[in-house]
Amino acid sequence: MSFELAHRVKNLPPYLFEKLDQAKSKALARGVDVIDLGIGDPQDPTPSHIVEALYEASKKSLNHRYPTYVGLLSLRTAIADFYRKKGIVLDPQREVLALIGSKEGIAHIPFAFVNPGDVVLVPDPGYPVFSSSTLFAGGEIYKMPLLEENRYLPDLSIIPQAIAQRCKMMFLNYPNNPTAAVAPFEFYEHVIQFAKKYNIIVCHDAAYADVYFEKRPFSFLEIEGAKEVGIEFGSLSKTYNMTGWRIGWAVGNADIIFGLSKIKTNTDSGVFQAVQEAAICALNSDQKCVDDIRKVYQTKRDVAVLALKKAGFSVSSQEATFYLWFRIPKMFNSSESFASYVLEKTGVVITPGNGFGEAGEGYVRISLTAPLARIEEAMRRLSSLCL
Ligand X SMILES: *Cc1c(COP(=O)(O)O)cnc(C)c1O
Least distance between ligand X and beta carbon 46 (Å): 13
* Interface region with ligand X, contact rule CB under 6 A, candidates 71-79, 147-155, 231-239, 337-345: 231-239
Integer CA distances (angstroms), 190 to 146, 183, 224, in order:
16, 11, 11
* Binding pattern for the stretch 73-102 against ligand X, x by CB under 6 A and - elsewhere: ----------------------------xx
DSSP code per residue over 5-20: PPHHHHTSPP-TTHHH
Q: Could you say whether residue 207 binds ligand X (CB under 6 A)?
A: yes
| Cα(217)–Cα(165) distance, integer angstroms | 30
**How far is residue 165's CA from residue 267's CA, in Å, rounded to a whole number?**
30
Residue among 106 and 382 whose Cβ is closer to ligand X: 106
339 with 352: CB under 8 angstroms?
A: yes
Instruction: Verify binding: residue 173, ligand X, rule CB under 6 A.
Output: yes
With beta carbons less than 8 A apart as the criterion, state whether 186 and 136 touch.
no
Distance between start and end Cα atoms, the chain: 52
Kindly state the smallest distance separating residue 242's Cβ from ligand X, in Å: 8
- Cα distances (Å, whole numbers) of residue 256 to 110, 113, 202, 315: 11, 8, 10, 39
Q: Which member of 177, 219, 261, 369 binds ligand X (CB under 6 A)? A: 177
Question: Does 235 help bind ligand X (rule: CB under 6 A)?
Answer: yes
How far apart (Å, rounded) are the C-alpha atoms in residues 181 and 165? 28
Site for ligand X in 34-53 (CB under 6 A): 40
**Would you call 121 exposed, middle or buried from its count of C-beta atoms within 10 A (0-12, 13-18, 19+)?**
buried
Of 131 and 237, the one with the shorter C-beta distance to ligand X is: 237
* CB of 172 vs ligand X, minimal distance in Å: 10
- Residue 142's φ and ψ, nearest 5 degrees, are -125, 120
Least Cβ distance, residue 211 to ligand X (angstroms): 10
Minimum CB–partner distance for residue 263 and ligand X (Å): 16
Q: Establish if 237 lies at the interface with ligand X (CB under 6 A).
A: yes
- Quote the least distance from Cβ 104 to ligand X, whole Å: 6
Residue 174 and residue 204 in contact, taking contact as beta carbons nearer than 8 Å:
yes
Query: Taking the complex as a whole, how short is the minimal distance between the CB of residue 321 and ligand X, in angstroms?
Result: 8
Nearer to ligand X, 152 or 332 (CB): 152
List of residues contacting ligand X (CB under 6 A): 40, 101-103, 127, 173, 177, 205, 207, 235, 237-238, 243, 248
